[in-house]
């Protein structure tokens, strides 16, 4: 195994991981931005991202479900009509 490559790659990956983390944290902390316009733009971006996360996904299979329920209702109505014709007290 090539030891100089291993000695170089581990610190490089560690430095990369450390440098990326603060950049993400800066974007999330809008209150520390001094310029009012930039701070408000940051809040607006966060609000849009949050709204996109909260927005429910559109149901994909409502058509077959509604059709199945409609068919079940028609079957139930047919059964109820046939039960009404039975003499229960004879």
Please give the model's pTM, rounded to 2 decimal places. Answer: 0.35
Q: Position of tokens 């090539």? A: 2
What is the pLDDT at residue 11? 74
Query: What is the Cα Rg of the chain in Å?
Result: 32
Asked if 37 and 46 touch (Cβ cutoff 8 Å), the reply is no
pLDDT in tens, the chain (90 residues): 556 766 777 777 767 667 665 444 444 688 888 899 999 999 999 999 999 888 876 666 656 678 888 999 999 999 888 887 777 666
Of the candidates 7, 8, 32, 12, which has an alpha carbon nearest to the alpha carbon of residue 22?
32
Helix (H, G, I), strand (E, B) or coil at 17: helix
How far is the CA of 15 from the CAs of 8, 18, 62, 72, in angstroms? 11, 5, 50, 63
Amino acid 16: pLDDT: 66
């Amino acid at each position: 195994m090539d030891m100089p490559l291993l000695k170089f790659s581990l610190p490089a990956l560690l430095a990369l991981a450390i440098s990326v983390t603060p950049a993400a944290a800066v974007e999330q902390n809008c209150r520390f931005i001094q310029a009012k316009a930039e701070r408000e733009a940051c809040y607006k971006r966060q609000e849009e991202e949050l709204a996109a996360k909260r927005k429910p996904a559109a149901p994909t299979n409502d058509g077959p479900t509604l059709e199945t329920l409609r068919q079940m209702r028609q079957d139930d109505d047919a059964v109820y009509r046939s039960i009404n014709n039975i003499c229960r007290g004879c």
